[in-house]
Structure 1
Amino acid sequence: MSYHHLSVLVHRQAEKYGDKIALKYRNYETAQWIPISWNQFSQTVRQAASAFVALGVKEQESIGIFSQNKPEWFYTDFAAFANRAITIPFYATSSPAQAQYIINDAEIRFLFVGEQYQYDAAFNVFGLCASLQQLIIFDRSVVKDPRDVSSIYFDEFMALGEGLPHNDEVEERTSRASYDDLANILYTSGTTGEPKGVMLHHSCYLEQFYAHDERLTTMTDKDVSINFLPLTHVFEKAWCYLCIHKGVQICINLIPADIQMTIKEIRPTLMCSVPRFWEKVYAGVQEKINETTGFKKTLMQDAIKIGRIHNIDYLRLGKTPPLMIHLKYKFYEKTVYQLLKKTVGIENGNFFPTAGAAVPDEINEFVHSVGINMIVGYGLTESTATVSCTLPVGYDIGSVGVIMPGVEVKIGENDEILLRGKSITKGYYKKAEATAAAFDADGWFRTGDAGYFKNGQLYLTERIKDLFKTSNGKYVAPQALETKLVIDRYIDQIAIIADQRKFVSALIVPVYGFVKEYAKEKGIEYTDMAELLQHPKIVGLFRARIDTLQQQFAHYEQIKRFTLLTEPFSMERGELTNTLKLKRSVVNRNYAEVIDKMYAE
Structure 2
Amino acid sequence: MTQTRAFDFLRQQLDQFPRKDCLGGKNGKSWTVLSTAEAVKTVDLLSLGLIGQGIAQGDRVAIAAENCLEWALVDLALQQIGAISVPLYPTCTLEDARYILAHAEVKLAFAGNAAQRDKLAAAMAPAPCPIYGLSKIADLPTWRELLKAGETGDEAELTRIRDAITPDQVFTIIYTSGTTGRSKGVMLSHRNVVSTVVSTASHTGLPRGSCRAVSFLPLSHIFERACVHYYLHTGTAVYFSTVEHLSATLSEVRPHTFSAVPRVLEKVYEKLAGKARTLEGFTRKLYIWALHLAEHFEPGTRYSLYDRARYAIARQLVFNKWYQAMGGELRWINVGSAALQPRLARLFWACGVVVSEGYGMTESSPVIAANPFSAEGVRIGTVGVPMPGVEVRFADDGEILVRGDNVMAGYYKEPELTSEVLRSGWLHTGDIGVMEQGYIRITDRKKEMFKTSNGKYIAPQVIENKLKESAYIDQVMVVGDGEKFPSALIVPLFDKIREWCADQGIGYTSDCEMTLHPKVHELIDREIKRFNHFFGSWEHIRKFTLLDRPWCVDQGELAPTLKLRRKVIAERCREVIERMYAHQPELV
TM-score scaled by length of structure 2: 0.91
Query: 1:281–1:344: 8 Å Cα contact kept in structure 2?
Result: no
- Distance in 2 between residues matched to 1:247 and 1:109, nearest whole Å: 33
Shift of 1:322: 5.6
Amino acid in structure 2 at the alignment position of 1:360: Q
- Distance in 1 between residues matched to 2:240 and 2:318, nearest whole Å: 29
- Distance in 2 between residues matched to 1:437 and 1:270, nearest whole Å: 37
Query: Which of 254, 259, 262 is the aligned partner of 2:249?
Result: 262
SS of the equivalent of 1:209 reads helix
Counterpart in the other structure of 1:168: 156
Per-residue Cα deviation, 1:234-273 (whole angstroms, up to 9, x for no partner):
21111111111221100100x3222122222222111101
Counterpart in the other structure of 2:129: 133
SS of the equivalent of 1:60 reads coil
Query: 2:175–2:185: 8 Å Cα contact kept in structure 1?
Result: yes
Query: Which of 350, 354, 359 is the aligned partner of 2:340?
Result: 359
- Pairs within 5 Å for 1:135-534: 135-140=131-136, 142-144=137-139, 151-161=140-150, 163-253=151-241, 255-288=242-275, 293-294=281-282, 297=285, 301=289, 305=293, 311-314=299-302, 333-345=315-327, 347-391=328-372, 392=374, 393-440=376-423, 442-512=424-494, 515=497, 529-534=511-516
Counterpart in the other structure of 1:558: 540
- Distance in 2 between residues matched to 1:341 and 1:313, nearest whole Å: 21
Shift of 1:531: 4.1
Shift of 1:384: 0.8
- Distance in 2 between residues matched to 1:562 and 1:309, nearest whole Å: 31
Per-residue Cα deviation, 1:328-352 (whole angstroms, up to 9, x for no partner):
655655554322211233x312311
1:548 aligns with 2:530: yes
- Distance in 2 between residues matched to 1:285 and 1:256, nearest whole Å: 17
**Are the structure 2 counterparts of residues 459 and 520 from structure 1 closer, same or farther at C-alpha, using a change threshold of 3 Å?**
closer
**Are the structure 2 counterparts of residues 125 and 309 from structure 1 closer, same or farther at C-alpha, using a change threshold of 3 Å?**
closer
Query: 1:198–1:382: 8 Å Cα contact kept in structure 2?
Result: yes
Amino acid in structure 2 at the alignment position of 1:137: G
Query: 1:303–1:329: 8 Å Cα contact kept in structure 2?
Result: no
- Distance in 2 between residues matched to 1:2 and 1:34, nearest whole Å: 30
Query: 1:54–1:166: 8 Å Cα contact kept in structure 2?
Result: no
- Distance in 1 between residues matched to 2:477 and 2:229, nearest whole Å: 35
Structure 1: state its 5+ residue gaps: 145-150, 315-320
Query: 1:272–1:354: 8 Å Cα contact kept in structure 2?
Result: yes
- Greater shift in the superposed pair: 261-270 or 62-71: 261-270
**Are the structure 2 counterparts of residues 306 and 239 from structure 1 closer, same or farther at C-alpha, using a change threshold of 3 Å?**
closer
Shift of 1:277: 2.2
Query: 2:274–2:495: 8 Å Cα contact kept in structure 1?
Result: no
Query: 2:19–2:235: 8 Å Cα contact kept in structure 1?
Result: no
- Distance in 1 between residues matched to 2:282 and 2:510, nearest whole Å: 36
Shift of 1:459: 1.3
Task: Give the % identical residues.
Answer: 31
Query: Which of 56, 59, 67 is the aligned partner of 1:58?
Result: 56
- Greater shift in the superposed pair: 269-278 or 530-539: 530-539
- Distance in 2 between residues matched to 1:218 and 1:127, nearest whole Å: 46
Query: 1:306–1:328: 8 Å Cα contact kept in structure 2?
Result: no
**Are the structure 2 counterparts of residues 296 and 125 from structure 1 closer, same or farther at C-alpha, using a change threshold of 3 Å?**
closer
- Pairs within 5 Å for 1:32-47: 32-47=30-45
- Distance in 2 between residues matched to 1:375 and 1:475, nearest whole Å: 31
Query: 1:69–1:231: 8 Å Cα contact kept in structure 2?
Result: yes
Amino acid in structure 2 at the alignment position of 1:235: F
Shift of 1:565: 2.2
Amino acid in structure 1 at the alignment position of 2:434: Y
Per-residue Cα deviation, 1:212-240 (whole angstroms, up to 9, x for no partner):
23212133221111012111122111111
Shift of 1:508: 2.2
SS of the equivalent of 1:452 reads strand
Query: 1:484–1:550: 8 Å Cα contact kept in structure 2?
Result: no
SS of the equivalent of 2:299 reads helix
TM-score scaled by length of structure 1: 0.89
**Are the structure 2 counterparts of residues 280 and 532 from structure 1 closer, same or farther at C-alpha, using a change threshold of 3 Å?**
closer
- Greater shift in the superposed pair: 489-498 or 76-85: 489-498
Query: 2:3–2:12: 8 Å Cα contact kept in structure 1?
Result: no
**Are the structure 2 counterparts of residues 535 and 295 from structure 1 closer, same or farther at C-alpha, using a change threshold of 3 Å?**
closer
- Distance in 2 between residues matched to 1:170 and 1:403, nearest whole Å: 38
- Distance in 1 between residues matched to 2:7 and 2:268, nearest whole Å: 39
SS of the equivalent of 2:10 reads helix
Query: 2:49–2:147: 8 Å Cα contact kept in structure 1?
Result: yes
- Greater shift in the superposed pair: 109-118 or 500-509: 500-509
Query: 1:203–1:422: 8 Å Cα contact kept in structure 2?
Result: yes
- Greater shift in the superposed pair: 184-193 or 392-401: 392-401
| RMSD between superposed Cα atoms in Å | 2.7
- Distance in 2 between residues matched to 1:373 and 1:524, nearest whole Å: 38
Shift of 1:326: 5.3
Amino acid in structure 1 at the alignment position of 2:483: R
Shift of 1:182: 0.8
1:72 aligns with 2:70: yes
Shift of 1:447: 0.4
Counterpart in the other structure of 1:318: none
Amino acid in structure 1 at the alignment position of 2:551: F
- Distance in 2 between residues matched to 1:495 and 1:89, nearest whole Å: 29
- Distance in 2 between residues matched to 1:328 and 1:431, nearest whole Å: 58
Counterpart in the other structure of 1:597: 579
Amino acid in structure 1 at the alignment position of 2:206: T
Query: 1:310–1:325: 8 Å Cα contact kept in structure 2?
Result: no
Aligned positions, number: 580
SS of the equivalent of 2:115 reads helix
Amino acid in structure 2 at the alignment position of 1:536: P
SS of the equivalent of 2:258 reads coil
**Are the structure 2 counterparts of residues 536 and 332 from structure 1 closer, same or farther at C-alpha, using a change threshold of 3 Å?**
closer
Per-residue Cα deviation, 1:403-450 (whole angstroms, up to 9, x for no partner):
11101110112100000111111211110010000022x321100011
Query: 1:307–1:370: 8 Å Cα contact kept in structure 2?
Result: no
- Distance in 2 between residues matched to 1:296 and 1:152, nearest whole Å: 55
Shift of 1:528: 5.1
**Are the structure 2 counterparts of residues 9 and 164 from structure 1 closer, same or farther at C-alpha, using a change threshold of 3 Å?**
farther
- Distance in 2 between residues matched to 1:365 and 1:513, nearest whole Å: 20
**Are the structure 2 counterparts of residues 363 and 9 from structure 1 closer, same or farther at C-alpha, using a change threshold of 3 Å?**
closer
Per-residue Cα deviation, 1:64-101 (whole angstroms, up to 9, x for no partner):
11110111111111111121111121111111111111
Shift of 1:568: 2.9
SS of the equivalent of 2:397 reads helix
Query: 1:229–1:273: 8 Å Cα contact kept in structure 2?
Result: yes
- Distance in 2 between residues matched to 1:303 and 1:581, nearest whole Å: 27
Amino acid in structure 2 at the alignment position of 1:256: V
Counterpart in the other structure of 1:148: none
Shift of 1:54: 1.1
Counterpart in the other structure of 1:109: 107
**Are the structure 2 counterparts of residues 246 and 513 from structure 1 closer, same or farther at C-alpha, using a change threshold of 3 Å?**
closer
Amino acid in structure 2 at the alignment position of 1:3: Q
SS of the equivalent of 2:85 reads strand
- Distance in 1 between residues matched to 2:493 and 2:205, nearest whole Å: 40
